[in-house]
Structure 1
Amino acid sequence: MIISHKHKYIFIGLPFSASSAINKELIAQYDGEPLLAKHSNIPLVRKVFPDLELSDYYIFAVVRDPLDMCFSVYNKFVTNAYDVFTDPKYFVENGGHVDIRAREKYKVINEEGLNFQEFLQRYYANIPYDNFLSLNTNELNGIIFFDQLNTGFLQCLREIGLTPKRDLPIHNQTSKKIQNYTLESNFEQRLFFPFKYYNRKWFGQKIELKWFFNYLSFRIVNFYRHKKWITRDYKYYINRANKSMVD
């Protein structure tokens, strides 16, 4: 997450959404500075900085289609980019960011040879799909569509009141990529409709009665899931703060 008190903006770095490129550009060119952790969410900001008037800030993030995002996640597991799932230096217990659940998932996907649809069915189909966009969606003043990254970034700068200095440099691209995928008919809509409807401000979804109970399940699960995510966000922040004090 990046904040500029001078220009009154906050950028939320959602995972798998080109946050590294935008973080670097905001710091280098637009008086941004890191706030909390790279992928922190607005509820944590409210908890840690209760006196910060968020209504004074232009809050924005990158919105990415969930199917595209899931494929990016799957691609990382299959290709093991930068050896993050096998090199101990990336493991959480060694100060990295890859926890044991991610390593177990990597092992299952590769040992069983799961294709993309099998991956989605195994890890996303039984519990309604969601990602951190939903934690922040009601706080956002603007968004950047992932497939229009440069155009959207420059537009957000203008809405903040800044004159863009250059096009957005791209960083942290994964060089190892697998091929495209095919899914069964209606599988994508069945899996992602509740998430898209909840975030309909950005995806433009309208309620379809045949998916009503899917959406109801999504809201019930998210009541508890969002609390869990917020608690985990805060614990991660506290652990980092304590480690910094020790170091």
Structure 2
Amino acid sequence: MIISHKHKFVFLCLPRTGTTAIREELCELYGGEKILYKHAPYDVFLRQASEEEKKYKVIVSVRNPLDRTVSLYFKYMSNHDGIQKDQIKSVGNKNIIQKGGIALANKILKKRASSVAGGKMTFPEFIKEFYSMPYSDWHSMYYDRYDYIIRFEHLSDDFTKALKTVGITPIRELPVINVTKKDKKSFVDQYTKEIIPIAQRAFYTSMKLYGYPFPESWPKYLPSAMDKIKYHGIHSLRKIYWKYIR
């Protein structure tokens, strides 16, 4: 996470949305400071922020969840940046229940990463195995609170606009760094016909929240009443974890 007291904003680094480049740029050229840890969510920031800091503008980046999931798969496959080690950070004083919850989450994520490493599992197998439940991420808890959204698909242009939003004159275009190794296919090509219905059920709500449409070539999809119940049930449990355990 990056904070600027001079310009009164914080930048939240959701994984796999181009944030490595943004973090380095903010610190190198625009007086940003690294706090907490790289992918600390807004809730973790609020726990230690002063009343003044809680009023700072919030800039975040997002990426099409379908594309972000493909990126995750390839990071697991190549063990990009040691991703198979503990993926969930623990900050502050944690009680035994919180420590146990974080340890369990890391155990599950390690198992998932090792299942894919070295090409042990194809992308369709990855989706069928790990995305049978509705998808959501911690951005969704505070999405209405965010002041500016940088989209991965328009990273450089949106980064420039974000700087201007907080009163900063951009010095240069955003460099490209920390690129994930993957093949040359479009992320859409990774979704075979058999897993498209699974992906639609899993990602529908997050796609809608972030303003991303499904590919035009995919069948039309509307969630069933049971799909909506599953999403809200699973998401409520995740919010408890994000807010009170992580």
TM-score, normalised on structure 2?
Answer: 0.78
The answer to whether the 8 Å contact 1:79/1:178 transfers is: no
| 1:109 alignment partner, one of 109, 116, 128 | 116
Q: Alignment partner of 2:149: what SS?
A: strand
After superposition, residues 26-175 of structure 1 pair within 5 angstroms as 26-55=26-55, 57-82=56-81, 84-85=83-84, 99-110=106-117, 113-125=120-132, 127-174=133-180
Paired AA for residue 152 in structure 1: D
After superposition, give the CA deviation of every residue in 1:24-80 in whole Å (9 maximum; x if it has no partner): 11111111111211111111222222523533x221111101110110111112223
Change (3 A) 1:47 1:82: closer
Give the structure 2 partner of residue 240 of structure 1.
none
2:241 to 224, 228, 236: 228
Cα 1:167/1:230, change in 2 over 3 Å: same
CA RMSD of superposed structures (Å)? 2.7
Q: One-letter code of the match for 1:58?
A: K
Tell whether 2:22 aligns with 1:22. Answer: yes
| Aligned residues of 1:129 and 1:191 also touching (Cα < 8 A) | yes
Q: CA deviation at 1:187?
A: 3.5
Q: Distance in 1 between matches of 2:237 and 2:153?
A: 31
The Cα shift of 1:163 comes to 0.8
CA displacement at 1:10 relative to structure 2: 0.8
Whichever residue aligns with residue 49 of structure 1, its letter is A
Give me the TM-score of the superposition, normalised by structure 1: 0.77
Give the helix-richer structure, 1 or 2.
1
In 2, the alpha carbon distance for the partners of 1:229 and 1:192 equals 19
The SS at the match of 1:186 is: helix
Aligned letter for 1:36?
L
**Match among 232, 236, 239 for residue 219 of structure 1:** 232
Alpha-carbon deviation of 1:155? 0.8
Q: Is the 1:41–1:136 contact (alpha carbons within 8 Å) kept by the matching residues of 2?
A: no
Shift of 1:83: 5.6
Runs of 4+ aligned residues of structure 1 deviating over 6 Å after TM superposition are: none
Give the direction of change, closer, same or farther, for the CA distance of 1:64–1:91 in structure 2 (3 Å limit): closer
1:178 aligns with 2:205: no
Query: Mapping of 1:190-209 within 5 angstroms?
Result: 190-197=201-208, 199-200=209-210, 202-203=211-212
- Tell which has more relative contact order, 1 or 2 (C-alpha 8 A, sep 6+): 2
CA contact (8 A) 1:193 1:211 kept: no
Structure 2 residue runs of 5 or longer lacking an equivalent are 88-104, 215-220
The answer (yes or no) to whether the contact 1:78–1:109 under 8 Å persists in 2 is yes
User: Aligned in 2, Cα 1:70/1:14: closer, same or farther, shift over 3 Å?
Assistant: same
Aligned partners of 1:9, 1:83: CA distance in 2, in Å?
30
